[in-house]
């Protein structure tokens, strides 16, 4: 596919100009996206600088690593160390600190950790290992769906099990809206994650909370087009869910992926780091998969004594779009990619990390 078309200078500048003209008489318009890859594009192409001052582009809870609770991280580290098993997970997850340790720092104390790029690698590793291997399974529906498909379709090594911290974006966003935690006027919906879920689950956000919602791809022209579509909705006094990313995203989503998710997982209440427990927002294995569910198989204990936010860390406010990363006093000075204090500084999808890349040391 020709992605360069969506980077085209003339197109991008024309879109920016239209946005400027059409939003001239608007008061502040707060548009939130909920995808780390969107933030990455916005920062990388400095798209905020192409927008007029009255349009605020906010980064919401769109980084799966950032919203993984310390409670889960602590539990997997403690269990892994005491029981001599290997924890396999994605690179981004390794550096996120729980109450005291990240998987990476725990590996210096004897925890066996294997960084993988995908479940297939964890399966290969487990086949060669004599130890139990627990896949710390993190990600939104984008990652949960292929994992569910693999679980359904192949027989896995007996020593491999899963610790699910998967989260379901549409319900997470909806519950945050219900709780009145998001001070926003419109939503840009995540292109990748919505390929799985489709856009139907977001209709409630649009109808119940009067929010124009537009799903967008990740190129500069995609994001600006989505903003323009939102502005058009506001101009026409409508509120609906629209799809800017039609080249890859269908409104109904991927039925096969949805079925795989439904077959393997239940939707359960789930802790989002810094945001507390959010109803109907986590993927947990169905009872029929108890034999794969590490939490059940090994009866992994959870402590209620856990610390989500290190002292002074304002990641929770960043995730809700209440402050910008540079408003956190620790940003860059104490908290940086080498020594991330809060989870948002770890992954390339984290808002603080993205901002650090272009703001550097302040």
Which residues contact other proteins by CB under 8 A?
A: 3, 7, 9, 12-13, 16, 36-37, 40, 43-47, 49-50, 64-65, 90-93, 108, 117, 138-140, 142-143, 192, 220, 336-339, 347-349, 356-360
Tell me if 142 sits within 8 A of 193, measured CB to CB: yes
State in angstroms the smallest separation of the CB of 8 from other proteins: 9
**Kind and range of the H or E element at 29?**
strand 29-33
Q: Are 335 and 352 in contact (CB under 8 A)?
A: yes
In the complex, least distance from residue 111 CB atom to other proteins, rounded to whole angstroms: 16
* 146's tokens: 């292929």
CB nearer other proteins, residue 12 or residue 173? 12
CA 308 to chain centroid, in Å, comes to: 17
105 CB-contact burial (10 Å; exposed 0-12 / middle 13-18 / buried 19+): middle
Closest approach, Cβ 304 to other proteins, in A, equals 28
DSSP letters, 84-107, are T-EEEEEHHHHT-B-SS-BHHHHH
Residue 13 or 21: which CB sits closer to other proteins?
Answer: 13
> Which of 9, 287 has the CB closer to other proteins?
9
Shortest distance, CB of residue 319 to other proteins, whole angstroms?
17
How many alpha carbons lie under 13 Å from residue 264 in its C-beta half-sphere?
25
Find the DSSP H helices in 50-202: 70-83, 91-94, 103-107, 119-128, 141-153, 169-178, 191-197
User: Judging by DSSP bridges, how do beta strands 265-272 and 276-285 pair with one another?
Assistant: antiparallel
Token pair 């967008």: residue: 216
Q: Are strands 29-33 and 133-137 parallel, antiparallel or unpaired?
A: unpaired
Closest contact distance (angstroms) between CB of 299 and other proteins is: 28
Identify the bridge partners of residue 213 per DSSP, sorted by sequence position: 187, 241
Minimum CB–partner distance for residue 180 and other proteins (Å)? 30
Q: Which two tokens stand for residue 120?
A: 């297939």
- Please say which residue, 49 or 53, places its beta carbon nearer to other proteins: 49
Q: Hey, how many other C-beta atoms are within 10 angstroms of the C-beta on 103?
A: 24
In the complex with other proteins, the residue whose CB is nearer, 22 or 359, is: 359
Give 62 or 201: the residue with its C-beta nearer to other proteins. 62
Distance CA 87, CA 105 (A): 13
Closer residue to other proteins, CB minimum distance, 184 or 228: 228
For the bound state, the minimum distance from the C-beta of residue 87 to other proteins, rounded and expressed in Å, comes to: 15
> Which C-beta is closer to other proteins: that of 99 or that of 105?
105
209 within 8 A of 87, measured Cβ to Cβ: no
Name the minimum Å distance from CB 36 to other proteins.
8
């Amino acid at each position: 596919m020709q992605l360069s078309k969506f980077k085209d200078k003339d197109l991008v500048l024309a879109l920016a100009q239209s946005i400027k003209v059409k939003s001239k008489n608007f008061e502040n318009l707060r548009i939130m996206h909920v995808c780390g890859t969107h933030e990455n594009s916005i920062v990388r192409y400095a798209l905020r600088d192409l927008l007029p001052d009255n349009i605020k582009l906010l980064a919401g809870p769109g980084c799966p690593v950032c919203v993984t609770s310390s409670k889960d991280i602590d539990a997997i580290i403690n269990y892994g160390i005491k029981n001599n098993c290997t924890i396999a997970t994605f690179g981004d997850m390794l550096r996120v600190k729980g109450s005291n340790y990240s998987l990476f720092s725990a590996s210096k104390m004897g925890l066996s950790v294997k960084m993988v790029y995908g479940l297939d690698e964890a399966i290969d590793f487990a086949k060669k290992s004599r130890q139990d291997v627990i896949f710390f399974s993190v990600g939104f529906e984008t990652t949960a769906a292929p994992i569910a498909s693999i679980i359904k379709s192949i027989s896995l090594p007996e020593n491999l099990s899963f610790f699910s911290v998967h989260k379901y974006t549409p319900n997470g966003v909806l519950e945050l809206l219900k709780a009145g935690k998001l001070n926003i006027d419109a939503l840009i919906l995540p292109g990748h994650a919505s390929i799985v879920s489709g856009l139907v689950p977001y209709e409630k956000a649009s109808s119940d909370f009067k929010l124009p919602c537009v799903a967008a791809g990740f190129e500069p022209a995609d994001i600006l087009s989505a903003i323009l579509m939102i502005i058009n909705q506001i101009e026409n006094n409508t509120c609906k869910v629209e799809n800017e990313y039609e080249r890859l995203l269908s409104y109904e989503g991927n039925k096969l992926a949805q079925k795989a998710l439904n077959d393997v997982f239940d939707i359960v209440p789930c802790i989002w780091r810094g945001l507390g427990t959010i109803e109907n927002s986590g993927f947990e294995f169905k009872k029929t998969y108890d034999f794969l569910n590490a939490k059940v198989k090994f009866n992994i204990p959870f402590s209620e004594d856990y610390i989500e936010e290190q002292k002074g860390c304002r990641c929770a406010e960043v995730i809700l779009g209440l402050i910008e990363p540079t408003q956190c006093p620790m940003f860059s000075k104490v908290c940086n990619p080498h020594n991330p204090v809060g989870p948002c500084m770890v992954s390339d999808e984290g808002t603080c990390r993205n901002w650090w890349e272009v703001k550097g040391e302040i």
